[in-house]
Amino acid sequence: MQHSPRRVLSLIPPMTQLNAPYPSTAYLTGFLRSRGIHAAQRDIALQLALELFSPDGLRALHEQVRALPAKKRSPSLHAFAEQFDRYLAAVTPAVAFLQGRDPSLGYRIASRAFLPEGPRFASLDVYIDDEGGDPLAWAFGNLGIQDRARHLATLFLDDLADVLRDAADSRFEFVRYAESLALSQPTFEPLAQALAAPPTLVDQTLEKLTLAAVEAERPDLVLLSAPFPGSVYAAFRMAQAIKAARPGIVTVLGGGYVNTELRELKEPRVFGHFDYVTLDDGERPLLALLEHLDGRRPLRDLVRTFARVDGQVGYFDSGEPDIPFAEIGTPTWDGLPLDRYLSLLDMLNPMHRLWSDGRWNKLTVAHGCYWKKCSFCDISLDYINRYDGAPAALMVDRIEAIIGETGQSGFHFVDEAAPPKALKALADELQRRNRAISWWGNIRFEKSFTPELCRQLADSGCIAVSGGLEVASDRLLKLMQKGVSVEQVARVTRAFSDAGILVHAYLMYGFPTQTVQDTVDALEYVRQLFAEGCIQSGFFHRFSCTVHSPVGKNPAAYGIRLKPLPSVSFASNDVEFIDPTGVDHARLGPALNKALYNYMHGLGLDEDVRAWFDQRVPKPRVGRHFIARALSRY
């Protein structure tokens, strides 16, 4: 009888954020160890960035640049070639500074005489004042040396990423790699062609790092978690390298991308790289798979797992329930180099920077979403639909264990929407134990967040919250079943701000039946929310209709018609639709983002919102002091 694999290796494929490890492997590794299984983890995304942006990586990149005729070189490539010796001398110190290992270098970086400056530094020119003074003085004053230097060092790495993209691999970006090959691709063909092509410099480095991790850990089973479309190509490249070098290793693909886009998987070629593909939470499927590999469970009794049988893709699900959230154990970061992550400062807004600056322990307060009604959301899928919490005492036990392991007390709660009751209970327990932490996370702007609760959350360590305002229109918020109004959002966000908690608003445009007038009105609401100090940061994204959302499942209820989907054998998520309003939302998007960027820097808050658009748009129907009046009734 076959023996169960005793060594499991979980890998994070490129690209994900570089300031902290993506939490999926930490959760799975902690869970597997709690069940007596030998489990290890590696962050190949971080390793890839550190290898590419090292002296050896720059030398290899320089060879690629030299091979290009001068007339084909972009401004980034010219700057790199002309100042190569300076780039080579600066890269190791700059990376060490961003890792927090050499803070004294901040004085040299801040002087702007140490780092070579390529095209990315042109963005600083917008900040030069009328007297021609220090362009960053408005943000950092005469002090703030460390933050000033971190912003400059981030621009330095952005320049190098541009060089890498222009000279070696056009698909490379810091937080996504070859995203277009996987994003709602109905067939596997684009990925197959890319995987069959000669490897780029990035591919070669990725394969080397993958095989080194396999050689060091000697696993029987390798898990690759692909949370986003921008990590899928790299996951397949890594599996390809493993299968070529160690064909006996069992490879498994899972993660957020798989859970949303590969639910209709029919493509047999996927299984030339992965032996199994699992859906939704991985704990139960992995236990079932380990039993199967041990000969103690037939294939038909796997849990939410795709496999290739006789050349065809089969889906196997015994229907066994998931592991309760309270029993999944404590995530562990053991094996991940926590002192090597990069604290990047690409956005000077104090709230916006949290996503890339600082190494936060990522944790969930509860599984799923307690609201699960929003019509644009994938509420039919497990990661939203199955709400499952844990007692506050257990959550603080986990928090204390993680602090003990990592030595760091900053937490990012990565829930879809952390429940107010659970956050209050958590704050009560933290205060009862006199445990000091810093935390931030995603919420709904609902009326349960009273000024009293916001102050308590601040006292418990809350420094920031993010939440969905979406389209700032009461008509559309009702159609979305968001469960909030613009007035309510204003009051709740002001309560957080008054408590000293930063607030970020997720914003949306292009929702079904949204008119140009709706868009202008929404921007006027947003302007007033910034002007009144209710929110400090925001991000506009274009609405995408997905096949798993209420809009995608019942488009007629939202006044639209879906365009026919192509025959799907690989990925299926986004679906195009016909909106009878006929609004050119693509043309409106740049104005919204330009306005928001300025608002986040305290600029243009007194201007008529119509000034941001490059076309004639109607006057806002919203009273210019609507938010102020709503707050006065608070």
- pLDDT at position 482, please? 95
- 7-44+179-326 and 347-632 share one CATH topology? no
Instruction: Report strand pairing: 561-562 vs 537-542.
Output: unpaired
Whether cis (ω within 30° of 0) applies to the bond prior to 15 is yes
The strands making up 438-443's β-sheet, listed across from edge to edge, are 361-363, 410-413, 438-443, 462-470, 502-509, 537-542
| Alpha-carbon gap, residue 216 to 223, rounded angstroms | 15
Global pTM reads 0.95
- pLDDT at position 19, please? 95
Query: Which ranges in 246-331 belong to alpha helices (H)?
Result: 256-261, 283-293
Cα 83–chain centre separation: 33
| Alpha-carbon gap, residue 253 to 260, rounded angstroms | 13
**58 touches 201 (CB < 8 A):** no
Instruction: Report strand pairing: 577-578 vs 276-278.
Output: unpaired
293 is written with which tokens? 């590999």
| Alpha-carbon gap, residue 41 to 213, rounded angstroms | 9
Question: Which of 174, 172, 179 lies closest to 229, judged by CA?
Answer: 179
- pLDDT at position 199, please? 97
Beta-bridge partner residues of 224: 11, 253
| Alpha-carbon gap, residue 336 to 332, rounded angstroms | 9
280 sits in the region (left: phi over 0; alpha: psi -120 to 50; else beta) called left
CATH number for region 347-632: 3.20.20
What phi, psi does 434 have (nearest 5°)?
55, 40
Mean pLDDT by 10 residues, the chain (634 residues): 71 94 97 97 98 98 96 95 98 98 96 96 71 63 84 97 97 90 95 98 98 98 97 98 98 97 97 98 98 96 98 98 96 96 90 92 96 95 95 98 97 96 98 98 96 98 97 94 95 98 97 97 98 96 96 96 95 95 96 95 95 97 95 84
Length reported for the chain: 634
Fold exhibited by the domain 7-44+179-326: Rossmann fold (3.40.50)
What phi, psi does 252 have (nearest 5°)?
-135, 135
- pLDDT at position 349, please? 84
- pLDDT at position 241, please? 98
- pLDDT at position 2, please? 46
- pLDDT at position 17, please? 87
- pLDDT at position 141, please? 66
| Alpha-carbon gap, residue 20 to 10, rounded angstroms | 16
Question: Residue 191: which residues within 8 A CB-CB, separation 6 or more?
Answer: 181, 182, 185, 232, 233, 236, 570
124 is written with which tokens? 């600083």
| Residue corresponding to tokens 């935390």 | 439
Alpha-carbon distances of 221 from 1, 268, 293, 449, rounded to whole Å: 18, 20, 10, 45
Cβ of 294: how many Cβ atoms within 10 Å? 14
Domain ranges in the chain are: 7-44+179-326, 51-167, 347-632
247 sits in the region (left: phi over 0; alpha: psi -120 to 50; else beta) called alpha
228 sits in the region (left: phi over 0; alpha: psi -120 to 50; else beta) called beta
22 is written with which tokens? 């993506």
| Alpha-carbon gap, residue 247 to 275, rounded angstroms | 11
252 sits in the region (left: phi over 0; alpha: psi -120 to 50; else beta) called beta
460 is written with which tokens? 């418990």
Instruction: Report strand pairing: 537-542 vs 502-509.
Output: parallel
Rg (CA), the chain: 25
Instruction: Report strand pairing: 577-578 vs 312-316.
Output: unpaired
Alpha-carbon distances of 345 from 157, 252, 342, rounded to whole Å: 11, 35, 10
| Alpha-carbon gap, residue 226 to 15, rounded angstroms | 9
| Identity of the residue numbered 378 | D
